Structure 1
């Protein structure tokens, strides 16, 4: 197992975060052509509610490594993980492999659950999710700092 192994430490639930995580939304930002009729809008966004971080089963991990870039998850991204979500084929999961957390896609191959990396430019061994592997939670969202 190489790259993207996060040392196993005690994850902490974030349900007890203070309610001060609020941003002001100025307006919708069109991804096409801007509308001259767009009104000035000011609405509060509660990041805890938006990312559903107020649940006891929600956790946050910082990604380390390049193994999931073809899935749109990059080094230093933050992912929101649900412990109570059902891990099904095709979902991105956090698993405990060889004593550390890894982020991988869960897929079924020949009737067996397999954890696969998503980086075509590098080689990562697939891991059969057997009794020695714990699928710890399902990734629900990711956050990226574009200023890098």
Structure 2
């Protein structure tokens, strides 16, 4: 996998941000109140010079809502911590998994069909970034 860093664009895209939340349970009445606008780039990418995008292949993270074809925003400047979803280089290949530091350090898939990957001195594992955002379209559009 080659990593390419893009030069941030001076342009912004501002989209309307509504104050009202949409219900994922019972419907709520619609309102016409708008809070201003949100710049998605500024909101989703606080560290543009250290952020890159990867496309997911496979189903090992499906229970974390990361599915085949999802796009991941990955920030290489963040220090990975317990419970973070990370991109790691393992034996020369890249993988996305959840970092577990206790009771023993390992990378955990979010699909029970995949075993945990122990993080030992013998393993050649390097965390290359923390996943900050997952982007995928509903199946109708994906």
The question of a shared fold, defined as TM-score above 0.5 by the shorter chain, is answered with yes
The 2-side partners of 1:118 and 1:45 are apart by 31
Greater than 6 Å deviation, 4+ residue runs = none
Query: Could you tell me the TM-score, scaled by structure 1's length?
Result: 0.76
Q: Structure 1 regions of 5+ residues with no counterpart?
A: 1-7
What is the aligned partner in structure 2 of residue 140 from structure 1? 132
Q: Give the one of 6, 27, 38 matched to 1:33.
A: 27
Q: 1:60 to 1:142 in 2, by over 3 A?
A: same
What is the aligned partner in structure 2 of residue 16 from structure 1? 8
CA RMSD between the two structures: 2.5
Q: Structure 2 regions of 5+ residues with no counterpart?
A: none
Matches within 5 A, 1:77-92: 77-92=70-85
Q: Would you say how many aligned residue pairs link Structure 1 and Structure 2?
A: 137
Contact 1:115–1:129 (CA<8 Å) still a contact in 2?
no
- RCO greater where, 1 or 2, for CA within 8 Å and sep 6 or more? 1
What is the aligned partner in structure 2 of residue 93 from structure 1? 86
Contact 1:26–1:41 (CA<8 Å) still a contact in 2?
yes
Deviation at 1:92, TM superposition (A): 0.5
Q: 1:35 to 1:110 in 2, by over 3 A?
A: closer
The 2-side partners of 1:66 and 1:60 are apart by 18
Query: Could you tell me the TM-score, scaled by structure 2's length?
Result: 0.79
Contact 2:47–2:77 (CA<8 Å) still a contact in 1?
no
Q: 1:24 to 1:15 in 2, by over 3 A?
A: farther
The 1-side partners of 2:48 and 2:86 are apart by 18
